[in-house]
Chain A
Amino acid sequence: MKTPRKILLARHQAAGPKLDAIRREVLADWCCEASQEPNRAAALAATLLAFPTQLWLELIRPCRRIWTGLASVWVLLFLINFSQRDNVSSVTGKPVVSGEVMMSFQTQQRWMNELLADRAIPTEADQKRNFSTKPRSEITGTAAV
């Protein structure tokens, strides 16, 4: 007498070698993939580190005279630009105002305020005239004069 489990396993025992081969293959592939992971990272790091050298060797070194000439022109342009620079703030782009100019501006401002303050007092000409709502013909006093 056997249990169903024993019968089923015994019936398929012949597949054992094939299953062993599958197991080994899967584990070999997995180990291979796992070992390639650090290699991939190292390859990426090497590529990144080699980039400046490659740039130098392939782009700059073959045409180094042209690059030197270009660099000289850029330096010259920078020097010219720097020497001709006026008092312009590099941050705001507005002219830099000195203290004397500011003092003069404040004095002028004060004078202007004083003048305007005098204008604030109403003059005689600005005072309101006596105004009557009567018709001109009824204002007898002034008409006789």
Chain B
Amino acid sequence: MLEVAAPEQLPVDQARAGQPAAWEALFRRYQLPLYVYVFELVRDEQAGLDIVQETFIAAVRHLGGLREDAKFGSWLFGIAHQKCVQRWRKRRETLVEEIPETPDAFEDSPGDLLIRREQETEFMNQLAQLPPAQRSVLLLHFVEDFSLEAISRITEAPLGTVKSRLHYAKKSLRKLLEATK
């Protein structure tokens, strides 16, 4: 099982100083969650691997631009998100879809949603069918348990939009899981 280190334990400062071991630890920590996020957005294995590689290269080159070490994770996912957006633009696809904003915040923990073994395939299928913008927000919430503010920064979407996307995405997932009980 993958162990998730607390953000303050990440050796970002050492990586900034150019220590290869620090980069090794950072990339090892984030490579799988990052790939999961990218793959579930682009739905293509090779493109997913390419984007992860490009994200790592960009991170090595531009770590000097990161001001708060604790935000390394969201910064890295932000780079990957931008790469996905660039790919969509090349393919003339769009990430943005208009959904009505919901006034009530939906901020429960991703652990609250538990899925039975027989529901796993349905869960993955339902996730793949969500609009990309909702899928992006939901994946960031599930995979790294990012805060709404962090998701807003990563996706460069307003906080209200992030809240509503997460609300509608979870609502549709819950409906599915209720139906398959």
Contact B23 A8 (CB under 8 A): no
Tell me the minimal C-beta distance from B29 to chain A in angstroms.
11
Q: Which residue of B lies closest to A7 (CB)?
A: B120
- A129 on the interface (CB 8 Å rule)? no
Residues of A within 8 A of B23 (CB): 27, 30
Tell me the minimal C-beta distance from A29 to chain B in angstroms.
8
Contact B114 A9 (CB under 8 A): no
- A3 on the interface (CB 8 Å rule)? yes
Contact A4 B49 (CB under 8 A): no
Q: Which residue of B lies closest to A13 (CB)?
A: B32
Residues of A within 8 A of B52 (CB): 19, 22
Residues of B within 8 A of A25 (CB): 53
- 8 A Cβ contacts from B86-131 to A: 110-111, 113-117, 120, 123-124
Given contacts A8-B40, A12-B32, A19-B32, contact A3 B53 (CB under 8 A): no
Contact B57 A26 (CB under 8 A): yes
Contact A2 B31 (CB under 8 A): no
Contact of B115 among A4, A18, A22, A26 (CB under 8 A): A4
Residues of A within 8 A of B110 (CB): 3-5
- 8 A Cβ contacts from A16-43 to B: 16, 18-20, 22-23, 25-27, 29-31, 34
- B36 on the interface (CB 8 Å rule)? yes
Contact of B36 among A1, A9, A29 (CB under 8 A): A9
Residues of B within 8 A of A94 (CB): none
Residues of A within 8 A of B39 (CB): 12, 15
Q: Which residue of A lies closest to B60 (CB)?
A: A30
Q: Which residue of B lies closest to A34 (CB)?
A: B18
Residues of B within 8 A of A85 (CB): none
- A11 on the interface (CB 8 Å rule)? yes
Residues of A within 8 A of B60 (CB): 26, 30
15 other A-B residue contacts (CB within 8 Å) besides A11-B124, A26-B53, A26-B56: A1-B115, A1-B116, A3-B115, A5-B111, A5-B145, A7-B115, A7-B123, A8-B40, A9-B33, A12-B35, A15-B32, A22-B52, A23-B56, A27-B20, A34-B18
> Contact residues of A with B, CB < 8 Å?
1-5, 7-9, 11-13, 15-16, 18-20, 22-23, 25-27, 29-31, 34
> Contact residues of B with A, CB < 8 Å?
2, 18, 20, 23-24, 27-28, 31-33, 35-36, 39-40, 45, 48-49, 52-53, 56-57, 60, 110-111, 113-117, 120, 123-124, 139, 142-143, 145
Q: List 30 interface pairs A-B (beta carbons < 8 Å), by A numbering.
A: A1-B115, A2-B114, A3-B113, A3-B142, A5-B111, A7-B120, A8-B36, A8-B139, A8-B142, A9-B2, A9-B32, A12-B36, A12-B39, A15-B39, A15-B48, A19-B31, A19-B35, A19-B52, A20-B31, A22-B52, A22-B56, A23-B31, A25-B53, A26-B27, A26-B56, A27-B20, A27-B24, A30-B23, A31-B20, A34-B18
